[in-house]
Structure 1
Amino acid sequence: MKLLHLGNVVIDLVLTVDDLPGRGGDVIASSTATTPGGGFNVMAAAVRLGLPVGYGGAHGTGPFGDLARTALAEAGIDVLQPISPGLDTGFVVTLVEDDGERTFITSRGAESTLTTADLDRVKPGPGELVYLSGYGLMHPSNRAALVPWLGRIPDDVQVYVDPGPLGHQVPPDDLAVVLARADWWSCNEREAFDLTGLASAHEAARALLERTGRQGVVVRLGPRGCLLAVRDAEPELVPGFKVEAVDLNGAGDAHAGAFLASLAAGLAPTTAATRANAAAAFAVTRRGPATAPTSTELNAFLTT
């Protein structure tokens, strides 16, 4: 089984700060880093847990595109698209505060220019996994290609969707198509509230489950764990793991990669959610966006 990732690989410009500056203000970063991010974090997490991955998103020419491709190759991730000429890969300015909270500002690049012709190169086989991101669906070109493509892939291909913080801004008709085809819909608590207009995580999980057409919904609750909602059952709290967080950047991506790798290994959704919670907890104890554990590290974490 393979994961085909159709989100966006971007470059993260990560600055660690004591506090965010006020409007018109300035702060001095205590550290900076330039790393691959966005969809790369999910793919790296899945590969580290033994799930083969292909990146089907667009990538550009220029220094950021080169950095992204180098990281993908080093991680063992197949690149399914040729370089998009004339436009570099985009970047994200990521501000990480002392308590680990992160704030993003995104500049779009080649990853926002996916086309129908590009998707003709991505052919998921029976039982394979496809990952979609709300970030990708926010780009008009990507959305125009991806939404019809979902209707053409085999019915037994499993589609995992993470709407991200901008998912509720996807045009309603397109969002409805994606929800209906999603086998698994995974978002954090705030995103669930934005998508449903509800203020209870349990109620939001139920509402999202009614809008999805397939298997289930995961609502991530940070250190509390996640809610797992599946057909004909009440949403179940899958407990999290208590750790000292230093950087929350990439926690949801580590969760997604571990959940998908666990499902691909044939584990039950509750077990997959437990392992995903552990992977996210492990990830936030390290600085950087792509800090998900290997199989050995995850298994050791679960037994301590």
Structure 2
Amino acid sequence: MNYPTLTHPTTLTQATTTGWHGSLQLEFARDPRGTHLTRSFVQAPLKVQRPFYPEGDEVCHLVTLHTAGGVVGGDRLSLDVTLHPQAHTLITTAAAGKVYRSNGQTAQQTVQIRVAESACLEWLPQETIVFDGAQYQQDVRIDLAENALWLGWELTRLGRTARGEQFLSGMWRSRTQVWQNDQPIWIDPQRVEGGSEMLTSLHGLAGCPVIGSFAVVGRSLSPEIVEKARSLWQPGTGAINRASSPLPTPHSPLPQIGVTRLTSGMLCRYRGHSTLEARRWFTQVWHLVRSELLNRPGCNPRVW
């Protein structure tokens, strides 16, 4: 099948003087053959790979990529995703995202998602590495119709800790809001300032460079599913990861997690030292939710 794609390349002059102004617009529809990408508009440096179907035609897997390798101050990225009724799509990224040290300007990413009635979007990007000195702001809005479902996670590492780098300056901001039937059902603003007390306070990040959130929003979940999600966490692995952390401190706690039942879903939080550890737990919870809500086993994207 041919998938229509409109490409408006950004010139090198524009990219180097005012930052990349990348755009990605995607639409998915369901027909008797399954879910298909029916419209794709891309503007560099954002691109998409050809859809693939490891689970059969009902679920469309799509991988997005940033061809410039990362964002810098002044970059503005816009993603717009629409799922029509009963469509089911899984979107991930080809590699970890990178936010480089700022030149004084803020890098911005805006994501607008619309999920129509009885449709489901699994939004599972790989982690984002925020360099020391980066200035980054992300705004995500998800609009759900009746009986629509959104499963999404966000994993962030503050500083290139593998190289001994800490997040001593800069700013990371992320705001996610989910609306259903024109009513807000979950709003999650987050802000971390480089070098602030919040990074080391026990009431903040407590020296943990990795934070993560995984939300399932759009349908009510039973208390039993919430308890199962908690039980999937294996705290014993945290001690190993902490001991091998490039920046261990005597006051750094073991990784911590939390699971909260929302009015229309569930929220999982992670605070620790390892994106691998966080994603391992998030993936297990994701498999659980898939089985319980979608009657479908887990199917990890091939790029992970």
| Higher Rg of the two aligned structures | 2
TM class by smaller structure:
under 0.3
- Per chain length, whose mean CA-contact separation is higher, i.e. which structure has more relative contact order (CA < 8 Å, sep 6+)? 1
User: Whose strand fraction is larger, Structure 1's or Structure 2's?
Assistant: 2
TM-score (norm 2): 0.28
